[in-house]
Each structure stands twice: as C-alpha cells, then as structure tokens.
A and B are shown apart, each in its own frame.
Chain A
Amino acid sequence: MTTREQSDVAPAMTLDTSGLLCPLPVYKAALALEGMERGQVLELLCTDPGSLADIPAFARQRGDRLVEVDDRGELQVFWIEKGAGG
C-alpha cells in the first residue's frame, strides 16, 4: 500500500533501520535529519510494524512533512521531507 503526497524531490539520503525496534528507528531518523537541509527528503526503511504509527507521529511532532508511506508488509518505507522545525 502506498500513499504519496506531491514532491519533486528525490531522497537525499536513505537510512535503513531494518532489524531495529522502536524507538531506535525514530532516534536514528532524528539524527539523520539533523544533518540535512530543510526541504531535503530522508528515505527511511523500517521493519518494526510499530513504525507505521511512530513515524507519522514523529514527523508531525518535528514539523516535517511525510511525503510517502509505502507499507510493503515486512518492510515499511517512509519519505520524510525536513521541515522548518527540525
């Protein structure tokens, strides 16, 4: 299942958190986004099913934009566009 908002920007970075459990994917995503510019997109790969709730909430909390959520069953792929608040 894929949901996508409009974005013209390809991911500037891919972070693979496969095998890691909540809240490690959130922690590592926050670190990755710290080093990125506003408007850049982080592609985040997760295998923890909890990420389907955690990552959208994380992005909302930080003021980032969740561009895409791709639930492939065992793998979830998120595209997070860094906002002004992060």
Chain B
Amino acid sequence: MVIQTEISPTRPTDHALRRFEDIRDLLPDIDNPTPLVRIRNAVSADNVYVKLEWLNPFGSIKDRAASYLIAGLRSNGALENRQIVEASSGNTAIAMAAIGAISGTKVTITIPDGIPEETKTILRMLGAEVWETPDELCPVDHPKDGAIALARSLAASEGGSRYVMANQYENPDNVQAHYETTGPEIWRQTEGAVTAFFAGFGTCGTITGVGRYLKERKQDIAIIAIEPEKGHRLAGLKSFAEANEPGNLDRGLIDDVVTVSDDLAYAMTLKLHREDGLLVGPSTGAIVHAINSYSYFADGVVVGVSPDGSAKYTSQFNELLGTDGLPTQ
C-alpha cells in the first residue's frame, strides 16, 4: 500500500532546523555566526578563542568577502557579458569560483607561487580557469605581486571588455563584509567582553572591517596584526617587506604588528591539531602563536581569527612531518 502525503518538495531555509534551500544560505552573519571556540591547551592563557571560519560553506573566511564582492559587481552591472578575474592565494578564489558556478559567472584566477596543489585542483573542480603566476613575473623590478599584476592586465586588456577584476585588495566591499558580519558576530558572541582581536595581514579586509567595528564599540579594544617574514610560505598572509600594502588596510586601526616565522606558525598549527583537535590551517598557527606570545590581555576575551582549515595543506604537512607518525619498526 502506498501512502500519499502532500509534502511540498521545497521548504524555506530554516536555520534552527539546519535546513537550507541554497548553499549560500549558510554564509555567516550575526544570526548565523561561525563558531567561537576556546583554545583549552595549546596556549598558556585561558581566555583565548578562535573564530572557526573554515566552517563556512566554501571552507574559509573569504566566503564573506567573495559574496560581498560578487554582489557589488552584479549590482553595478559590471558582470554583464564579462567574467571575473581575481588574484588569489586560494581561499577567495575558491569562494568566488563556487559562488560564480552557482550563479553562472565564469571565474579566472591568477594564483601566486607556493600555493598547495590541493587548492589549484579544487579551483579546477569548481570550473575556474587557473593561471599559475611566478611572484617575479614582472621582470623589471616590480614587488612580488605577479599574480595581482597579471589579473590587472587581464582586466585592462582588450579594452576591459572581457574581464572585470573584483580586486579584493582595494575593493571596499571586502572590508564591508567584515564590518557588517564578522565584527558584529564577535561582539555578540563575546557579549561585549572582547579586549583584543588578532588577524593576519593579507588583503586586510578582516583586520580593517573587524577593527573598525570593534573600536566603534570600545576604543581601547586592541587590534593586533600578524605579518609573516619575507619569503614566507603562509598562504593568505602578506609580508609588506615584499608586497604592496593594500588600499583596504587602515593603519590607524592597528595597535601592534607581530612578525611570525613559518617555523613558529607551523609548530603552533600542529599544537592546535594535537592538543585541541582544531584542524586549522597554517595562517591560524601564525595568529595563535602571536596571541600566545602576548601577556597583556589577562582580562576579558581575546579573539583570533582562524581563516581556514588544514585540508588544503596536507602535502605541505606531509613534507614537514617527515617520519613523525610512521611506525619505526
């Protein structure tokens, strides 16, 4: 006997039931924030939390910026008969490629040196075209921003008729994404008790957007930036000793800058994996190392952003681990 029931094939998104009509409904905001999780073991203080941005639908904090950048381009007509080109170390590219794939917009990504193979493959899985770009592509004494230069060149070539560059480094929609979502989420999740916020220098959308929001609430909240060393291999972070400072950086918001080496970043990343079960990417390791090296914030709540997870970096970790974890006999 077949029982017929009148069940509608689609139901509206319901966050309480965790039922979603569209993957984009999982993009975070104050009512659907990414989790804030305390680091219990890997750091010496007991008031340090990381915001797990790798639990976003496309795997990183860049989901926020990508969604705002694409929405901005669409609303000003820039995507009519054009495809997006963007310079990205991976996470923005992945988010743009995914959102572009769902909405029928073709995406081309110029990707710099040192990016994991996993990332490049994921982009191609999402239908993006990937142009691998040496950091020193411009042979005549340019800073190490070959991927950005190539993306700009593609956008400007053929009279600008074929590509439009989202330009995450200069486009204020990147900052706005964090001012309207990440910042308010942190403020609410800490119930206004946040005393310090740590994030890396990269496109600077996060540190500027969150920094601006939090300082508007309480001027003495410390905003600390993490900068990698020259020649680093920390995807998503930028050393301004070798790359241009993005237009999205508002230096007036930054209270201090901590430089972290690759070795220390990777060491803390493994510590987070092994002592807290937090499968974070290496840029998180850099940020948490910086937090752990600070002794100034015993009161209140310290928040560090965890931009992405570890899955895209397994080949780099495989190299780092050597024989660690393999049987000796």
Contacts and interface: CB of A to CB of B under 8 A. Distances in A.
Contacts of B154: 24
B157 A23 contact: no
Contacts of A21: 152-153, 156-157
A58 to B, nearest CB: 5
Contacts, number: 41
Name which of B136, B140, B154 has the most chain A CB atoms within 10 A of its CB.
Answer: B140
Interface in A32-70: 50, 53-54, 57-58, 60-61
Contacts of A24: 150, 153-154, 157
Interface string A13-25: 0000001111110
Contacts of A22: 138, 149, 153
Given A54-B139, A54-B140, A58-B139, A19 B153 contact: no
A22 B140 CA distance: 10
A26 B139 contact: yes
B150 A61 contact: no
Contacts of B150: 23-24, 27
Contact of A23 (B153, B158, B159): B153
B157 A53 contact: no
A60 B141 CA distance: 13
A27 B156 contact: no
Contacts of A60: 139
B157 A20 contact: yes
A61 B156 contact: no
B43 interface: no
Interface residues of A, number: 15
B137 interface: yes
A23 B146 CA distance: 8
B131 interface: yes
B138 A19 contact: no
A50 B152 CA distance: 15
Interface string B148-171: 011011101111000000000000
Nearest to A59: B139
Contacts of B152: 21
B153 to A, nearest CB: 4
A27 B152 CA distance: 13
A57 B131 contact: no
B140 A57 contact: yes
Nearest to B156: A21
Given A54-B139, A57-B140, A27 B158 contact: no
Contacts of B157: 19-21, 24
Nearest to B157: A20
Interface of A: 19-24, 26-27, 50, 53-54, 57-58, 60-61
Interface of B: 131, 133, 136-140, 146, 149-150, 152-154, 156-159
5 contacts: A21-B152, A23-B138, A27-B133, A57-B140, A61-B139
